[in-house]
Amino acid sequence: MTWYKTGTVSLAQGSNAVIGAGTSFIANSRVGDAFRGPDGEWYEVTNIASDIALSIAPSYQGEPVSGGVYSLAPMQGYVKDSADALRAATSVIASGVANMQEQVTAATEAAATAVQAEAVAVAKADIATAAADLSTQNKESTSQDATSAGQAALRAEAARDAVVGSEEAAAASAQAAAESAEEAEIVTRGKAASGANSDITSLSGLTTALSVEQGGTGSTTGVPTLVGATASTAGAKGLVPAPAAGDQLKFLRGDGTFQAVTVSTAWGGVTGTLSAQADLQAALDLKLDKSDATPIKSYASPDQTITPGGSLTLLHQLGSEPFEVQGFIVCRDADAEYAVGDVVPVPHFAVDYAYNYGVSLVTSSTNIFCRFGTAAGAFFVLRKTTATTVGIVPAKWRFIVRART
């Protein structure tokens, strides 16, 4: 690859910045190339910022110059296309899977060979540059040294040829790396990527079982069978045994077997009839008096309007005459210091013979007959808070009867 000299450059003494005019640094140079400045000294390219700007090391030593001539000598030992191919091959290999170690190793060795070739090329280029400088100086100093200069030129040409050979070796190494990368890509093509995958339809050849939490069985040979417990050993979870025909009423025991439900009429260790258990029978008789086994029935009437001097006939449907009956008045609108919902029992007789307050209750096997006192309030009560007597306002109360047999 020829040296690049297109355009001009401007540099300041002590600065590492090279500003080009009419230059294309990106396409024609690489980091590590040799830069020969207008001062005739050689520097290393350390960064290429754009087509008209790059950095060198060490900083420029000569006098400040604007529009000076320069040279960029490729010192990497291989052409840029080869370097790009090697970098792409290395990127592919790096993204391969772990079982592609052989291809990765081959690519790595190829890259190492390229680096070694690069080092050889740089050394030989330095020799060539020194020889060329010496030849130029010898030719300019005296014609008597023409023979020596010619010999130096021959050595420079030989060094150049060596550089070309190194470039060819680097290109071959890059080609080998590219081939290794292609083999790695072929082997890994179609393999599942890391992360979520929606195209996996089956798994086979697993060496590590998927756990139950991962949706597997925890076994590489399928779902394990249930292991029943013993008196001294815990069981293990797994598939339960299939019940045989006729086992539909059996239950699965902890030992892993199906067991029929045992049905017995015996009371534990007690056998025979209840009447044969004299002590138990006596204890039960104390809890239950069988001579009074008639169930208790009760009746509660709905709300009844209180009409002074009026009467009611209530059908209790108890089946027999109740032995207990009680009348109540229920407050439905605040009155006599009572609140709505308060229930007050009332005697079923006249509480004041002069004013005829109270109610008369007479029972039969089917009905309860009620008659209210003729006084205007029908009932005479004590005020809830102050406990003084007062007749109620019938319209603010309702009458109910409760009875039981």
* Sheet of 53-57, strand order: 65-68, 8-11, 17-21, 53-57, 42-50, 34-36, 71-73
Q: 108-118, pLDDT tens digit by residue?
A: 565 455 556 55
pLDDT value at residue 136: 54
**Does 77 have pLDDT greater than 60?**
no
CA torsion sign for 257, 261, 266, 267 is: positive
Q: 30-43, pLDDT tens digit by residue?
A: 999 999 999 999 99
pLDDT value at residue 104: 43
pLDDT value at residue 177: 67
23: tokens are 């230059």
Q: CB of 398 within 8 A of CB of 330?
A: yes
Question: How do strand 42-50 and strand 34-36 relate by DSSP bridges?
Answer: antiparallel
pLDDT value at residue 142: 42
Mean pLDDT of the chain: 79
| Greater pLDDT, 150 or 328 | 328
Neighbour tally for 124: CB within 10 Å: 21
Nearest to 34 by CA among 114, 166, 123: 123
Q: 118-140, pLDDT tens digit by residue?
A: 565 555 556 556 645 654 564 45
| Greater pLDDT, 138 or 263 | 263
**Interval 176-205 mean pLDDT:** 68
pLDDT value at residue 268: 54
Neighbour tally for 244: CB within 10 Å: 9
For the ranges 66-75, 77-86, 259-268, the lowest mean pLDDT is seen at 77-86
pLDDT value at residue 255: 92
